[in-house]
Amino acid sequence: MTAAVDPDLPDLDATAWETVLAMVILEVSGLRMPADASFFEAGLTSATLVGVFERLAGRLPPGLPVTVFFKYPTRRSLARHLAGQAALPATTLPTAAGRTHRSAVQDRRDLRSRLRERKG
């Protein structure tokens, strides 16, 4: 799934993109999420993000895949990317707990491993 852009829409800066994303996320999910919270930590699902993507379809750059939500997993990082500003890659973005995305994933893997060890 990729987006097509409406050429008559004005370019937005990162702040405007953050606002647009916040409004669409609220409309689609009913959630108000901090700009630096991960979409998934804030309670959004893949299906919800597809809905957000579809609502934004006419505004997004052409050829942009829906997987952009995984590469830029916060409103702020995605807004900066969409505005053409440098955004940190997902592996170095801090999560709400102050850890990097990669360390949060590793924490979940470690927890699952420990739980399996207890059962076995």
Which residue bears the tokens 């949060």? 104
Architecture of the domain made up of 14-88: Orthogonal Bundle (1.10)
pTM passes above 0.75: no
The residue extents of the domains of the chain are: 14-88
Mean pLDDT in each 10-residue stretch from start to end of the chain (120 residues)?
A: 46 89 94 92 92 88 87 93 63 47 63 77
CA atoms within 13 A on the CB side of 120: 6
The full length of the chain comes to 120
Collapsing DSSP to helix, strand or coil, 73 comes out as coil
Q: How far is CA 72 from CA 38, 82, 98, 107, in A?
A: 9, 10, 16, 20
**Residue 33 Cα to chain centre, angstroms:** 11
